């Protein structure tokens, strides 16, 4: 489905720590797809601004997810800061799934890859539901947009999985 009115993301970027390691092939692929799909088809409507489309920068600071949003006029929307504690288990599970996927690819086991992919989809759905709930009253997003943003939250944690223990 194409963009809905002016309530969409025209640009999205991730700011990661300089020493963040390269992502795995699955994480990199997930990131590229999420970034592309957010620009192509998203619903993203901050509560106190109707001047989209929006430019969004996501980054992590002190274990909090920061949304830096600008409207079509380049005006900053107040930063949105979300605690990442409610995502701890989901992010940890995401990286376990990524490792399992990489192992299954190396072992050449297509049936195992399919099962892992189903688990990954379920995990992304759970992350999307949590994100929609936590953004309620702040930013209205549809399920697919929430799913893609959850993917980016995980990507921002590349190299930080040890912090989540």
**At a CB cut-off of 8 Å and minimum separation 6, what does 69 contact?**
46, 49, 54, 55, 56, 57, 76, 77, 79, 80
Q: Give the N- to C-terminal CA distance of the chain in Å, as an integer.
A: 39
* Burial class, 91, CB count within 10 angstroms (exposed 0-12 / middle 13-18 / buried 19+): buried
The pTM of this model reads 0.90
Strands 54-61 and 64-70: antiparallel
Q: How far is residue 147's CA from residue 76's CA, in Å, rounded to a whole number?
A: 24
pLDDT in tens, 93-137: 999 998 999 899 899 888 999 999 999 999 999 999 999 999 999
Q: How far is residue 44's CA from residue 64's CA, in Å, rounded to a whole number?
A: 20
Q: How far is residue 51's CA from residue 73's CA, in Å, rounded to a whole number?
A: 8
pLDDT in tens, 111-123: 999 999 999 999 9
Phi-psi region of 101 (alpha: psi -120 to 50; beta: other; left: phi over 0): alpha
Q: Which residue has the tokens 């970027």?
A: 13
pLDDT in tens, 74-89: 999 999 999 999 999 9
Q: Residue 33: enclosing H or E segment and its boundaries? A: helix 25-40
Q: How far is residue 45's CA from residue 39's CA, in Å, rounded to a whole number?
A: 14
Average pLDDT on 39-50 reads 95
């Amino acid at each position: 489905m194409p963009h809905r009115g002016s309530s969409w993301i025209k640009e999205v970027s991730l700011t990661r720590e300089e020493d963040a390691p390269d992502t795995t092939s699955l994480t990199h692929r997930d990131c590229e797809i999420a970034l592309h799909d957010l620009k192509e088809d998203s619903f993203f409507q901050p509560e106190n601004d109707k001047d989209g489309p929006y430019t969004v920068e996501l980054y992590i600071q002190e274990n909090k997810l920061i949304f830096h949003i600008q409207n079509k006029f380049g005006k900053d929307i107040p930063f949105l800061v979300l605690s990442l504690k409610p995502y701890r288990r989901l992010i940890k599970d995401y990286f376990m799934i990524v490792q399992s996927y990489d192992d299954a690819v190396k072992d050449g086991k297509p049936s195992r890859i399919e099962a892992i992919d189903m688990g990954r989809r379920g995990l992304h759905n759970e992350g999307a539901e949590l994100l929609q709930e936590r953004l309620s009253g702040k930013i209205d997003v549809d399920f697919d947009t929430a799913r893609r943003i959850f993917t980016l939250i995980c990507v921002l944690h590349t190299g930080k999985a040890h912090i989540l223990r």
